[in-house]
Amino acid sequence: MMADETSSTNLKPVLARAPIPQYASELWHRRSFIGTMPMNQLRATNMDTVLGNFWFLVNPALQTVVYYAIFGVLLDVNRGIENYIGHLVIGVLAFNFITASLMAAARCMQNNLTLIRSMYFPRAVIPISTLLSNLYTFVPALFVMVLTVLLTGGTPTFRWLALPGVVMIAVANVLGFVFVVARVGKRLPDLHTLLPHLIRLLFYCSGVLFAPGSFTSNRTVLWLFDVNPFYELLQLFRWSLMARPVDAHIWYLAVGWSVVSLAFGAWFFWRDEISYGNA
């Protein structure tokens, strides 16, 4: 009798790992919560400041001014790049989305430890919500990109219609890395301190500030840029908004990275599902 009553309540242990199909189904049923959770977090962010959430745009704008003054004016790294301001703004704003997502992922499991221990839910809800929070702040940055291109002499093209697709590729790609960083960050609390150094290296290796082909003709170096998933994403954003030419292999690599990154990252995170409630 007691067994029947327990099964009828459909209770689950707080620390559990469902099979992948059931896990994916449970995530889908919680899609409303996944979308609402980051909105509440954003309302609380910067609420005590004068500009509030406008800092999500002010900070990257100030960064862009600094980078342009140093690299565009003093060091002249543009080296013939047409519309260097547009090139720089797209690079900085798109890479900020990547940076913010990875940095938030490094501490997201530890920051939600009380929630994890209090109730059962697929733990992937937390890194997904973390990414969505940064995606919501990235949407206004997309309008800034468009406005910058227009103000610097660009004109709308049919490629602008591909921008949502480029954003989807970027989200899938970054989410895979977010899953990996979230699991490693739970196991290695110092990752949050180490990660900025790795991100800084990726920043300079992703063509944010310059076009690699303007500085070297070494095929190995250029190949390393081409296989960098974040370099590929920046190239696709510039292809869409600035009509920059992009070789077909960049598209294949970007889509391939997105599929592999998301599939591996989700599996890698799911494998450690039971341990996320541990101290």
Structural domain includes residue 89: yes
CA 126 to chain centre: 14
pLDDT of residue 3: 43
Count how many domains the chain has: 1
Nearest to 250 by CA among 241, 242, 262, 238: 238
H or E stretch covering 75: none
The residue behind tokens 């093209």 is 157
H or E stretch covering 228: none
Structural domain includes residue 76: yes
Structural domain includes residue 218: yes
Does the predicted model carry a pTM greater than 0.75? yes
Structural domain includes residue 51: yes
pLDDT tens digit at each of 279 positions of the chain? 434 433 444 555 555 678 888 989 999 998 888 888 777 666 655 555 545 556 667 777 777 777 777 766 665 666 668 888 889 889 999 999 999 999 999 999 998 888 888 888 899 999 999 999 999 889 888 988 998 899 888 888 999 999 999 999 999 999 999 999 999 999 898 898 999 999 999 998 998 888 887 777 888 888 989 999 999 999 999 999 998 889 999 999 999 999 999 999 999 999 988 888 776
Structural domain includes residue 11: no
DSSP designation for 112:
T
Structural domain includes residue 12: no
Its domain, for residue 154, covers 18-277
Structural domain includes residue 90: yes
Structural domain includes residue 227: yes
Amino acid at 148: T
> Are 261 and 176 a contacting pair, CB within 8 Å?
yes
pLDDT of residue 73: 65
